[in-house]
């Protein structure tokens, strides 16, 4: 059985890197006595695939990984058993059974939604709401992005799928696919430069709210769907 696990990560563990989070779940699944499937060969390992890694210092309500298990278990029992042995700042919030032909979590990622709020020392003067609307109204938002081969000039605007400005925060839905992954800090650095400012260290508080896959319809429209919704809840 291939399961998709959704979890949230917050508080002090936001400073733990992706590899340590992977190790935490490997050990947690053993402590919870979940019958996980292992690969064969000289160095067997749990058959597990994480979705888009979360940057250090970011909290999340929508992280995912896929895991294969050998013994059937209900979604609620999985959550109860794992959360009982987990730390308070990492909690499983959903478990879904994936169809046989489903792609793995990493390959399925198309977009991610983030809530961004500013600390008092945000480095922007009042009126940032109107400035962000003007920033997004530009025909192009050109930035320099680091790549595996060095740096490249890219247009950020097509990678920002949606945004909402509220009184004290900003929501961004951005490309998170392997081909065009955009970090929210890259958008905010570009916005700061547009304002003639430079983001101060730790100026932002960022929470990943959800990670999405995509569904393309016959008319060409694209709908972004939470990764959990590609599977079914197990009773």
The one-character DSSP state at 133 is H
**Domain boundaries in the chain?**
2-107, 110-229
Question: For the chain, what's the residue count?
Answer: 235
pTM of the model as a whole: 0.92
Task: Report the SS3 class of residue 170.
Answer: strand
Q: Is the pLDDT confidence value at 166 over 80?
A: yes
Q: Is the pLDDT confidence value at 42 over 70?
A: yes
Query: 213: closest CA among 129, 104, 133?
Result: 104
Tell me, what's the pLDDT at 10?
A: 96
Strands (E), 80-178: 90-97, 111-118, 142-147, 150-155, 160-165, 169-175
CATH architecture assignment, domain 110-229: 2-Layer Sandwich (3.30)
Query: 173: closest CA among 128, 110, 117, 86?
Result: 110
Taking only the tens place, the pLDDT of each residue in 94-143 is 999 999 888 888 989 999 999 999 876 555 556 788 899 999 999 999 99
Using CA atoms, how far residue 81 sits from 34, 62, 90, 92, 112, in Å, is 8, 20, 13, 10, 28
Buried/exposed 182-198: b ≥16 CB within 10 Å, e otherwise:
bbbbbbbbbbbeebebe
- The Cα 85–Cα 28 span in angstroms is 7
Average pLDDT over residues 53-71: 95
Q: Do 110-229 and 2-107 fall under one CATH topology?
A: yes
**Which CATH number does 2-107 carry?**
3.30.70.580
- The Cα 9–Cα 26 span in angstroms is 16
């Amino acid at each position: 059985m291939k399961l998709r696990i959704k979890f949230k990560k917050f508080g002090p563990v936001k400073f733990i890197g992706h590899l340590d989070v992977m190790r935490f779940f490997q050990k947690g699944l053993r402590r919870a006595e979940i019958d996980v499937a292992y690969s064969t060969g000289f160095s067997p390992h749990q058959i597990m695939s994480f979705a888009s890694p979360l940057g250090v210092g970011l909290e999340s309500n929508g992280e995912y990984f896929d895991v294969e298990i050998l013994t059937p278990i209900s979604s609620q029992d999985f959550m109860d058993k794992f959360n009982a042995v987990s730390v308070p700042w990492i909690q499983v919030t959903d478990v879904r059974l994936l169809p046989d032909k489903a792609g793995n979590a990493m390959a399925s990622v198309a977009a991610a939604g983030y809530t961004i709020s500013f600390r008092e020392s945000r480095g922007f003067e009042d009126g940032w709401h109107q400035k962000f609307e003007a920033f997004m109204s530009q025909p192009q938002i050109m930035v320099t992005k680091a790549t595996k081969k060095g740096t490249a000039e890219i247009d950020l605007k097509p990678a920002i799928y949606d945004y909402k400005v509220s009184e004290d925060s900003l929501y961004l839905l951005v490309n998170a696919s392997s081909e065009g992954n955009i970090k929210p800090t890259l958008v905010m650095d570009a916005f700061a430069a547009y304002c003639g400012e430079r983001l101060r260290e730790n100026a932002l508080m960022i929470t990943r709210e959800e990670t999405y896959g995509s569904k393309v319809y016959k008319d060409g429209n694209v709908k972004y769907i939470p990764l959990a919704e590609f599977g079914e809840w197990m009773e």
